[in-house]
Structure 1
Amino acid sequence: MSSQFISRRHMLQSAAAFGAVAFAAGNAMSASAATGQVSGKGKPVSATPLSWMDKVAPNRFDGTTMGVPWPRGTVKAAQALKLTGADGQEVASQSWPLAYWPDGSLKWSAHAVAGSEGLTGASVVMGKPKVPANAVRVTQTPALITIKSGDLTWQVPTSGEALIASATKAGRTTLRDMKLVARSQDQADLEATGSVTQSQFTSKVTKVTVEQTGPVRAVLKVEGTHSGQAGGGGGRDWLPFSVRLYFYAGTQSVRIVHSFIFDGDPFKDFIRGLGVTAKVAMSDETYNRHIRLSGEGVGVWGEAVKPLTGLRRQAGKKAQAAQIAGEAVRIDDIAKPVQDGLKWIPEWGDFSLSQLTPDGFTLKKRTEKGHAWIDSNAGSRTKGLGYVGGAAGGVALGFKDFWQRSPTAIDIRNAHTDLAEITAWLWSPDAPAMDVRPYRSAGEMDTHPEEIEGLNITYEDYEKGWDTAHGVARTSELNLWVLPTTPSHEVFSGMAERVANPPRLMVSPERIHAAGVFGDWDVVNATTPARKILEDRLTYQIDYYMQQVEAHRWYGFWTYGDVMHTYDADRHMWRYDIGGYAWDNSELSTDLWIWYTYLRTGRADVFKFGEAMTRQTGEVDVYHLGRFKGFGTRHGVQPWSDSSKQPRVSNAAYRRIYYFLTADERVGDLMRDLNESDFSLKNVDISRKLPPSAERATPEGVVNSSFGTSWGSFISAWLTEWERTGDTKWRDRIINGMVTIGGLKRRWFASSAPYDLKTGKFLGEGDYIAISHLNGVFGVVEMSSELLSLIDEPLYRKAWLEYCRYYNAPNDELQTLLGTVPRGRNLRDSHSRLTAYAAYHENDKVLAMRAWSEFFGNEGRESDGGLGRRTTRIDGVATLRPLDEDNSLSTNGTAQWGLAAIQNMALIGDSLDEAATLAGVVK
């Protein structure tokens, strides 16, 4: 296919998205996906609208950050960008580059918006951004970093226990000593010995990095470990952490992104509590001190430390109404009998909001330590926000996905004293200790033949010592407010909603698509009969999986965000307890299916689904230290239980869409950590359980690597790093692999080859043939499409187009090409997108029709009479609770069918209706 054809196609898409913006004729994208050539003649974009992702403007937001893509050659790297509101007025903002095109022009920019009220929408335009009236300012000394915005001052020490030493509001120090806490015990429970030994740990800061200094947003990265030196942990340092603190102008809060790595012994180290805690100065009378805890929905539980309502003697309507509202009560407004009897009213110092399951929370309180807890109330699900303070000020603390990540808790202690304490428990100490031991019994599979037998029965690849949680991580998002007074119930409820569902400004699908990012996809288009059938089915599939999260309670600290792999229709359950059929762990690119669905639709619920998965699969399913560092774990009963450790799971392709949409620094760290993950092939022989062969023997510094599941995963990290930094080292490493694959005799049909870790080149003649259906289903299709639009490498282009044309080719064509018809060409409908790619780039209508015939094939997946399948209601005694079941769906098939449908419609959608009619899909 000619470069002129592709440019014209993208030009029309771009013009539709940008409206009045004019691009150079025949050069809308400033690039040709067919040749990789860059003309650099694109004209600047005039404006990029942003809208609230939930479609409703929030009454208030505490600052937000988003990414914006730009067509190649349209925006210079140093171009200043600003935001304007829907009324045309400038909005206080801060911008910085996220990624660059190969010609040096800006590819992605990030924009931080100051917290405010009443912002209904915004646009990104050229120009110097507005500085907020109360800009964020950062000053540093070797021992202390100070962040100021308006009348609020935060002090962050560079060492010690505290992550935030103090926060002062209008000259009053309200918060002190915000730090991390952990509790552990040496046994999971009392079953073994009848007693357990517990230890306590607090944060020990070893490094603080100032990443941004304002004026709208300041960012600090705090790193360290949890230390037992001060808390009875025997001087031990463990559970390394990184915590980012985000300070936005126009807000009274700090956003906290908390990440830790489990580096303990799963058989000895059982976490009993993991949290963030801070002390709160309390100077008001105890009847003017208040507690707020989020309830169900918009509900709020609010009480005073010393309540004035419900007494035998009335305190007076004015005093009672003021206390209920959280306002200061004057002593003179309290009825004389109650004034005289204040000392007899109990002071309640401790409060607890505990969510031990996703379906239930409890509220309780007590006067002080050493006395009984009194049950107050209970409910199903709460957003997880607490407040303690009074008329002189207070602190609110909560965290996202509170009930979804249960067991969790918000605790308040000593509210009746001069220094209260508020703690957000990411793992509640009220729950049983965290147990990350392997689930399998010892001695089940002691030999390699037994491991293979077990794999053939349960589909989980077990190997002793490889089913370890040592090295996995978890990231949580918290918000902490320093407030001048007690918030009303309405204000507090709004804060809780912002914790649970942070408001986000986002770019539209049309605008993202017009920028030419993320390869082959298009926005939702149901304008023809066949397109409507496919679009309806895509909607059905994503809706079904989001519903399954709730139907089967796919929640929990270590699992929220993942989905299950395969269904068991006999039990009306997903196979949660059957080996490799349980947690999916990104198998066959589930993450990509969700993210491309979001790109096409802009649906907020799909974004949140994908966000939870990105947090899960990038943290829990991947090792961040130890011998498996940089690799992830194949699907299993526990996120870490399968012994197959592979880069196809840690794949940066699954994180980068979220990163560029949000500019999330933690995900940026995770991808950067993968830049040298190919060296982990020295520690993990992925093919170690296959029969030994002479071809597998390699010299020092050389390992065996597959083209798709391994190298295809490595290149996603290298591409992202090249885009982010412009460092051509990573581009050259990609090119080394592309050139050497293209130079092999059998090219992509060799499937794998010896790989030189130093250079990134594949070695040998590659004169053998080995096809694996897995080589093309872990992101390499998407990455190759992007790479070939950025890098003009003819050898690789030829090799990739050959593989795309012939993978699904009739046997006689494959026989002519290879001299044989090898086995292994499974997932024919999924690989139809390879055929479509070749058809598009070679302008071959016959090949396009073949691609659709493969897609509408008869492998028993969606296209085999399944486009109209719907759920069946299962209720009564057959199942735990009523549910809607579609036992024809599996996650592998759903993800790959969805990706194929999306890419095929983008590449060869003009022949869809004709092909669908021939296949009988459209009558």
Structure 2
Amino acid sequence: MALSRRNLLILSVAATALGFGANSVAEAAPSVPTTDLRWLDDQAPAAWDGSTFGVPWPRGALKPSQAFKIVGKTGEELPVQSWPIAYWPDGSLKWSAHAVASGEGRDGLSIVPGKSKTPAAPLLVTKTADAITVSSGDLVWRLPTAGAELVSEARRAGRVTLKDLRLVAIAQDQPTLEPDGVVRSSRYISKFSTVTVEQTGPVRAVVRFEGVHSGDGRTWLPVTVRLYFHAGSEAVRIVHSFILDGDPAKDFIRGLGVTASVPMSDETHNRHVRFSGEDVGVFGEAVRTLTGLRSRGDPGPAARETQIAGRAVRTETLPPKLQAGLKWIPEWGDFSLSQLTPDGFTLRKRTSAGHAWIDSNAGQRTRGLAYVGGVSGGVAFGLKDFWQRAPTGLEIRNAHTDLAELTAWMWSPEAPAMDVRPYRSANGMDTHPEEIEGLDITYEDYEAGWDDAHGIARTSELTLWVLGATPSHDAFSAMASRVADPPRLTVSPQRLKAAGVFGDWDVVDASTPTRQRIEDRLTYLIDYYMNEVDQRRWYGFWSYGDVMHTYDPDRHMWRYDVGGYAWDNSELSTDLWIWYTYLRTGRADVFKFAEAMTRHTGEVDVYHLGRFKGFGTRHGVQHWSDSSKQPRVSNVAYRRIYYYLTADERVGDLMRELVTSDSALEAVDISRKLPPAPGRERPKGVVASGFGTSWGAFLGAWLTEWERTRDPRWRDRILNGMNTIAAMKRRWFAGEAPYDLKTGKFLGDGDYVSVSHLNAVFGVVEMTSELLDLLDVPAYRKAWLEYCRYYNAPPAELKALLGKVPSGRNLGDAHSRLTAYAAKHENDHALALRAWSEFFGKAGREGGDLMLSQARRVGGTAVLRPIDEDPVLSTNAVAQWSLAAIQNLSLIGDSLEEAAAANR
């Protein structure tokens, strides 16, 4: 399929900057030119265990069935497995996903259409009624098709090196043991009922498990686990996602982990444990140590050095006295590393159950990897975001016996039990009028029974290695680094932009004085928030990945305990601000910040079962505490950028969950606390829906599903909404209307005006920009351009259009991007200047001047520890101002200096 003229021109202009090769794009047509790949951290890793990434392609450039190959700068080929993950409306390939095998230190890689090289040792997946077998080289994994185990055994060179990989949960019926009380605990293990092979190699194989935790006569905690295998790798990546479906008042999770058994056949002085320490550090000891003995039992420097390195110490080479006396040296069978806070971990060990633990060492933050095994082989197990997700743990048991046990705890049983009960009581707030009074004071939309954690979820990522020998300290440290920060291939911001994806944005451009000022502020703001994560310790199992909503300069604290001012929960598109910042900068630290937020906001802030399923929770003291359950939080617009950049299956699941989430409007009446509007009674199947905060949020789910599947149902549902909004008398200025759940159409004449500053700040701007590039709906385009031109218009112009000047307009600087959109698409220079005036002006702004604010140092007795604070900043204002800056620069950047001169 040849390049379209439009996209050929785009790629031709960008060719030199994108490094498409010596030949011009025009000369290469109809072939698509080479696309350079880059490592996210801009440095080729010494080794990697496989990587998966997405690449966008211009409309009309490639067929969906296109094959790809990856080549190095010297012409060598890297095996790659490719598949389509999104399509343009004309059926051409929009996004392709690519998986590479494990490898070492490769830079200068490029991807180009062509047949891929097959791995030297390709993955082989076979399936019987009882088991799935995944083979790569001398490593064979056996995965049962039902039961408790993810992996029943893994053989390395014929030796069973791992057995019985399964999930474990511990729960108790009370949060703590009171002095006169009794706590009853129960232990649960995984029970899988559905096992699906999603990919079969030859480079990457993916197996999905669905099940529950079972025990004590009960099944609960639904779980989905994916195992990822890569050719040439000794590791399997594990993505673990569970839903909290217990009773918060009765079910207190004490431990949540993944555990495996490790056969131990070597002498105990040739059995070893390893734990990652601080930074690159490693703790390494033998089960029976030969160092530190009395001089009469000293094995000599060669044996000591050999044992420390993890290599075999032959018993017959030891001094006779020591050979006879080995039995007197204690065998240390149990080891435990507990990271109970983000600032500290402890290491302990004991000889065996029934004996006391002794302290081994301690530190601050570890990358979260442990190993147990011997010179004949063993298992290493690591948990990503280990200290950031505290309380976590790594545990080794019975290393002195024939079968050791290695567990990675996503919630450490050494920590207090997980407590997700509501943080408050009603305190007399028993009616909707009283709840609204409370909202006016604390900004919390409280309602008894709606502050419920039942149905939230969390995803964790783990890596497990089956090794043929004990790794050296250096090798183990490198493995720990890959657990904490997996190497990732991607493409440059320029290449993303050239493909025409994600709407209105440009790569960083500081070529003029005012552009430089704006770029400097954008950098300042993103850096400030990333620093706040650590400075304010925004960590923890449920909280890592979120930021706070509003600052309290009197306490020099974010308002973590004040109703709706606490956790942000995606309010006003914080996720999109960070993702668009990554798109235009390519910064690795910004990607990781956005990735953590995507993992959090799509799981913890959203309900995945129960009465609120499909909706998210408005910002609050707890991520689930506010009673406002809305689609604006569960918004797919906040997840899809990560999905397309990574082809992450779990996020793909989360987005697909939401394609029918508009049906939740029937069970959850968002406006239930407000007086019913007269004359708007609704029959069954018809609900009230705002254009922006509800329908605008559904757009992301439908658009993404249409792109991923080419199923016209989702396109048609979008068109139904677009056409019926356009047909209303007041069009977008009607703001909301009755909505038919069956068809996706809005009903009624829309002969009223209802304006809210929230309608365009939850992803609808970004989604509409993409939609109008994909679907030709002239009437809707006209309606949207009208809204963009007039939302921030002077009162006289707005009155001439609507007959009155409506209330509800706010966030003038944020909405300047609507004005900019109209200016760009109507070629109105005067309107572009007005947009910049709105952006720099103070009218309708939330917070202070973001072009001028500065952090200051606060120390002494005023604070818990010295901090840098910028009291002007609030997350609503920062997210929307930054998105406006990014989009205005893209849409009307050519008028910026003229506007800046006029506003001086």
TM-score, normalised to structure 1's length?
Answer: 0.96
Aligned equivalents of 2:19 and 2:740: distance in 1?
45
Match of 1:17 in 2: 18
Could you say what secondary structure the match of 1:795 adopts?
helix
Distance 2:793 2:57 in 1: 37
Q: Displacement of 1:119 after TM fit?
A: 1.2
Superposed CA deviations along residues 797-855 of structure 1, whole A, max 9, x for unmatched, are 01000000000011111111111110011000000000000000000000000000000
CA–CA distance in 2 between the matches of 1:585 and 1:874?
27
The question of whether the paired residues in 2 share the 8 Å contact of 1:674 and 1:717 is answered with yes
**Could you say what the CA RMSD is over the residues aligned between the two structures, in angstroms?**
1.7
1:89 equivalent to 2:71? Answer no
Aligned to 2:140, the other structure's residue is in SS state strand
Work out the CA distance in 2 between the residues paired with 1:844 and 1:442: 54
Kindly provide the CA deviation profile for residues 345-395 of structure 1, in whole angstroms up to 9, marking residues without a partner as x: 000000000000000000000000010000000000000100000011000
Deviations 1:458-494 (A, max 9, x none): 1010001100000000000000000000000000000
Q: 1:224 aligns with which of 177, 194, 211?
A: 211
- Secondary structure at 1:901 match in 2: helix
Q: 1:909 to 1:766 in 2, by over 3 A?
A: same
Kept in 1, the 8 Å contact 2:240–2:460? The answer is yes
Who is 2:228 aligned against?
246
CA drift of 1:411 comes to 0.2
Q: 1:316 to 1:775 in 2, by over 3 A?
A: same
Aligned ranges for residues 850-865 of structure 1 at < 5 Å?
850-859=834-843, 865=849
1:803-842 alignment, distance < 5 Å: 803-842=787-826
* C-alpha separation in 1, matches of 2:427 and 2:840: 47
The structure 2 residue matched to 1:904, chosen from 878, 888, 895, is: 888
State which of 361, 379, 383 in structure 2 corresponds to 1:377.
Answer: 361
1:5 to partner: Cα distance: 10
Partner residue in 2 for 1:257: 239
Cα distance in 2 between the residues matched to 1:863 and 1:879: 23
Structure 1 residues 577-635: Cα deviation after superposition (integer angstroms, max 9, x where no partner): 00000000000000000000000000000000000000000000000000100000000
| Residue pairs, 1:703-852, within 5 angstroms | 703-852=687-836
Aligned positions, number: 898
Residue 427 of structure 1: which of 405, 408, 411 is its match? Answer: 411
The answer to whether the Cα contact below 8 Å between 1:52 and 1:121 also exists between their aligned partners in 2 is: no
Return the offset for 1:441.
2.4
Deviation at 1:425, TM superposition (A): 0.4
Question: 2:810–2:845: 8 Å Cα contact kept in structure 1?
Answer: no
Look up the SS of the partner of 1:714 in the other structure: helix
Contact 2:613 2:661 in 1 (8 A): yes
State the one-letter code of the partner of 2:185. Answer: Q
The answer to whether the 8 Å contact 1:316/1:333 transfers is no
The AA in structure 2 aligned to 1:753 is: A
Q: CA deviation at 1:23?
A: 5.8
1:71 and 2:58 aligned: yes
Give the direction of change, closer, same or farther, for the CA distance of 1:150–1:48 in structure 2 (3 Å limit): same
| Structure 2 counterpart of 1:298, one-letter code | V
Please state how far the C-alpha of 1:337 moved relative to its aligned partner.
Answer: 1.9
Which amino acid is the alignment partner of residue 66 of structure 2?
A: Q
Which of the numbers 97, 113, 117 marks the counterpart of 1:126?
113
Residue of structure 1 equivalent to 2:279:
297
* Alpha-carbon shift at residue 121 of structure 1 (Å): 3.5
Task: Check the 8 A contact 2:791/2:815 in 1, yes or no.
Answer: yes
Call closer, same or farther: CA 1:822–1:13 in 2, change over 3 Å: farther
Residue 100 in structure 1 maps to residue 87 in structure 2: yes
Letter paired with 1:17: L
1:450 corresponding residue in structure 2: 434
Is 1:340 paired with 2:324?
yes
**How has the CA–CA distance of structure 1 residues 71 and 4 changed in structure 2, closer, same or farther, with 3 Å as cutoff?**
closer
Tell me the residue number matched to 1:546: 530
Question: Contact 1:318–1:333 at 8 Å: present in 2 too?
Answer: no
SS at match of 1:409: strand
Partner of 1:355, secondary structure, is: strand
Q: Secondary structure at the match of 1:693?
A: coil
Q: For 1:814 and 1:15, how far apart are their aligned partners in 2?
A: 46
Q: Give the equivalent residue in structure 1 for 2:548.
A: 564
Q: CA deviation at 1:87?
A: 2.2
Q: Which residue identity lines up with residue 678 of structure 2 in the other structure?
A: A
Give the Cα–Cα distance (whole angstroms) in 2 for the partners of residues 363 and 662 of structure 1: 35
With over 3 angstroms needed to count, the CA separation of the structure-2 counterparts of 1:497 and 1:519, relative to structure 1, is same
For the pair 1:281 / 2:281, whether they are aligned, the reply is no
Cα contact 1:292–1:387 (8 A) shared by 2? yes
1:281-338 deviations in Å (ceiling 9; x for gaps): 0000000000000000000000000000000121111111110000000112222221
Contact 1:363 1:376 in 2 (8 A): yes
Deviation at 1:916, TM superposition (A): 1.2
* Structure 2 gap segments, 5+ residues each: none
The one-letter code sitting in structure 2 at the alignment partner of 1:190 is: L
1:72 and 1:106 in contact (8 A); partners too: yes
Residue type of the partner of 1:108?
W
* Structure 1 residues 37-48: aligned runs within 5 Å: 43-48=30-35
Distance of 1:759 and 1:866 partners within structure 2: 43
Give the letter for the 1:584 counterpart: D
Aligned: 1:609 with 2:610: no
Q: Distance in 1 between matches of 2:10 and 2:262?
A: 60
Partner SS state of residue 526, structure 2 = helix
Q: What percent of counterpart residues are identical?
A: 69
Indicate conservation of the 8 Å contact 2:816/2:839, yes or no.
Answer: yes
1:44 Cα shift?
3.5
Aligned partners of 1:290 and 1:584: how far apart in 2? 45
| Secondary structure of 1:775's aligned partner | coil
Q: What residue in structure 1 maps to residue 613 of structure 2?
A: 629
Instruction: Report the CA distance shift for 1:465/1:192 in structure 2 as closer, same or farther (over 3 A).
Output: farther
Is residue 187 of structure 2 the alignment partner of residue 200 of structure 1? Answer: yes
The residue that corresponds to 2:154 in the other structure is: 167
Shift, 1:442, TM fit: 4.6
- C-alpha displacement of 1:443: 3.9
- In 2, Cα distance between equivalents of 1:260 and 1:5: 45
Query: How far, CA to CA, are the matches of 2:400 and 2:333 in structure 1?
Result: 5
**Take 1:565 and 1:483, find their aligned partners in 2: how far apart are those partners?**
46
Instruction: Return the offset for 1:83.
Output: 0.8
Contact 2:8/2:25, CA 8 A, preserved across alignment: no
Match of 1:693 in 2: 677
Residue of structure 1 equivalent to 2:496? 512
- Tell which deviates more after alignment, 212-221 or 445-454: 445-454
Aligned mates of 2:5, 2:551 — CA distance in 1: 47
User: Secondary structure at 1:829's aligned position in 2?
Assistant: helix
Q: Do structure 1's residue 590 and structure 2's residue 577 form an aligned pair?
A: no
Q: Sort the Cα spacing of 1:10 and 1:819 in 2 relative to 1 into closer, same or farther, 3 A.
A: farther
Checking the alignment, whether the CA contact within 8 Å between 1:274 and 1:428 is kept in structure 2 is yes
1:535 alignment counterpart = 519
C-alpha deviation, 1:866, in angstroms: 3.9
Distance 1:751 1:623 in 2: 26
State the alpha-carbon separation in 2 of the partners of residues 853 and 494 from structure 1: 52
Is the partner of 1:691 in helix, strand or coil? Answer: coil
* Structure 1 counterpart of 2:249: 267
Q: 1:143 deviation in Å?
A: 1.3
> 1:6, CA displacement in angstroms?
11
For residues 179 and 16 of structure 1, the distance between their equivalents in structure 2, rounded to whole angstroms, comes to 49
The Cα of 1:691 is off from its aligned counterpart by 1.5
Residue identity in the other structure for 2:18: A
Tell me the CA shift for residue 862 of structure 1: 8.9
SS in 2 for 1:830: helix
Secondary structure of the 1:687 match is coil
Counterparts in 2 of 1:122 and 1:340: CA distance versus 1, 3 Å: same
User: Using the alignment, how far apart are the partners of 1:761 and 1:860 within structure 2?
Assistant: 32
CA distance in 2, matches of 1:398, 1:152: 19
